[in-house]
Amino acid sequence: MPTSTTSARNPGARAFTLVEVLVVLGIITTLVGILVPVVATVRFESKNVQCLSNLRDTYTAIDGWRSSHKGSLPMCEFIPVATANGPEGGLPNKLDGRIMKDSTTWFCPADYSDESIDVGTSYTYLPGLIRYVPQIQIEVFQALASQPTLADSQRARLREEIEARSVTSFYNLDNQRLFPLMIDSLDNHPGTREPRNGVFMDGSTGEATLDDAVPQAPGGGFE
């Protein structure tokens, strides 16, 4: 009489033992433990690559600005101001038309900061900080004091021209590529490398430290 049992149909078949099941589970656990960090690393590197691409795109826009402004860097706040009506000022506003203010180019894909969203960018524009060093502001003060009858709009234009000329001269002398034009505002890329990316005057991109972003020069230069 035929039997319905598996062993009768296939006498050589047998079930997995508990030891074999535990071994398989152990192998799967080990593989997952290896794959999870690898996937995280790939995702991290992907965001890092996109951040560097954003900085290169912004450099292209800056370079386009310079080509139509006698080689001078754009002058503006180092970061936009957060207002009730949205971000105002800063490089996104200055380069609007070359890169739209609401473009994702202004945001590092690894940046999850609400503050960056409020100001409209993940990046700090270093020339907007360097323009406030005393040597440049003394030059601005002297020029404005020598022309007291200028209208407010003319005074603002003169101030911007002086700051742009002086800051551009400083960057042009940076033969060692020490000071980035733009840098991640936050440590968005933690790991074995420097946690911030930057783009430099020659258009190259790479790791940038906070020390790189602080101009220091001997003999009464920038400090």
Q: Compute how many other C-beta atoms are within 10 angstroms of the C-beta atom of residue 70.
A: 10
CB contact at 8 A, 128 and 90: yes
How far is C-alpha 146 from the geometric centre of its chain's CA atoms? Answer: 40
For residues 87 and 19, give the distance between their C-alpha atoms in angstroms, rounded to a whole number: 62
Q: Which residues contact 178 (CB under 8 A, 6 or more apart)?
A: 212
In tens digits, what is the pLDDT along the chain, a chain of 223 residues? 455 444 455 555 566 677 666 777 777 777 666 655 655 565 778 889 999 999 999 999 999 999 999 999 999 999 999 999 889 999 999 998 899 999 999 999 999 999 999 999 999 999 999 999 999 999 999 999 999 999 999 999 999 999 999 999 999 987 767 789 999 999 988 775 678 999 999 999 998 876 766 665 433 444 4
Q: Which residues contact 208 (CB under 8 A, 6 or more apart)?
A: 180, 183, 184, 194, 196, 197, 198
